[in-house]
Copies of this chain bind each other. A is one copy, B any other.
Amino acid sequence: MAHQQFKDCIDACVACAVACSHCATECLKEEHVAHMAKCIQLDLECAAICRSAAEVMSLGSSFSAHLCRVCADVCKACAEECEKHAEMGMDHCRQCAEACRRCAEACEEMATPV
């Protein structure tokens, strides 16, 4: 069943969307917001695409694999940026990077034609 097949990937996408939105809002409270601008920008792009991928998979759509392809790519870009700040001790970026990596992996698997 389409929905069951998509279940793990949906979970990874919604968790990633939540982590990205949260990371963006926490970045905005940091002392040096200017350093976080690229991170916030990628958070927003990643959250939007993750939400969409989750919705489309929940609908069992045949376009899911195509959206997961884009989602995997934005997740990797966002993870890369967040990891820079995670190294410097920002916990919201560390959590976000982890969620992005998990989501990228799950989406890669969905995106790969079986």
Contact = CB atoms under 8 A, between A and B. Distances in A.
Interface of A: 3, 10, 14, 17-18, 21-22, 24-26, 28-29, 32-34, 36-37, 40-41, 44-45, 47-49, 51-52, 54-56, 58-61, 63, 66-67, 69-70, 73-74
B59 A41 contact: yes
Contacts of A14: 14, 17-18, 54
Nearest to A52: B52
A67 B71 CA distance: 9
Contact of A74 (B28, B44, B63): B63
A34 to B, nearest CB: 5
B58 A45 contact: no
Nearest to A54: B18
